[in-house]
Structure 1
Amino acid sequence: MTLLELVVWLVIGFTGYQFWRVRGISERSNSFLKQYCDTHGLQLLSVARSKTRFSFKYGKPDWQSTFVFEFSSNGEDRYSGEVEMIGLRVIRTEVPPYKM
């Protein structure tokens, strides 16, 4: 095995690891939003990642992701909120005023 082959395998492994890391962050946001909506008596309609970038906040390199989600409070109206995460930690949740 040459040095070039070793580097190629390391790059492939690192790319695969980062793919699964971002996938895990998406699953964590989905479970957080389900819990958030259950706690506040809301119905979660959809979740989508709107932005992901590499960040060095809090002294550790990790993915900073923003998710947009739609929810309903009475089953008829639809509202959009936003969740920001760094790694698996939720940093900010924004929800507009909604009808009870």
Structure 2
Amino acid sequence: MNLLTLVVLLAIGLMLWPLWQRGQRAKLQVLQYLRRECGKEGLQLLDDTVQQTGLRWRWNQGRPLAVRTYRFEFSAAGDDRYPGEVILEGRRLASLTLASHNDEGNP
């Protein structure tokens, strides 16, 4: 690998670094929100993780806005699994969707 290739790769990495960092901050924000909301509802956030399943851009007042979609699983009774989805628009939580469940754990 020559020096020019190395410099170009480094420049690309430096340009993508802030985007990656914003994505990590968004993921942490979603995790904190889900922990709080699951606690309020008496649900358990399974695996304590979320998975980003989508990233798109839309224009908001002449500026690009990242719209990120995350999926996760939760439990109502501890022995069941239900899917959920969160949509984050910039730093604002746009929606939270939980699969139908009941407190007795019978889907």
Tell me the TM-score normalized by structure 2: 0.76
Task: Spell out structure 1 runs of 4+ moving beyond 6 A.
Answer: none
CA contact (8 A) 2:27 2:50 kept: no
TM-score scaled by length of structure 1: 0.80
What value does the CA root-mean-square deviation take over the aligned residues? 2.1
* Shift in Å, 1:14: 3.2
User: Secondary structure in 2 aligned to 1:22?
Assistant: helix
SS of 1:98 mapped into structure 2: coil
Identity %: 28
AA aligned to 1:92 is: S
The runs of 5 or more residues in structure 2 that have no matched partner are 1-8
Count of residue correspondences: 94
Which residue is 2:16 aligned to? 15
Change (3 A) 1:58 1:39: farther
Q: Does 2:65 match 1:62?
A: yes
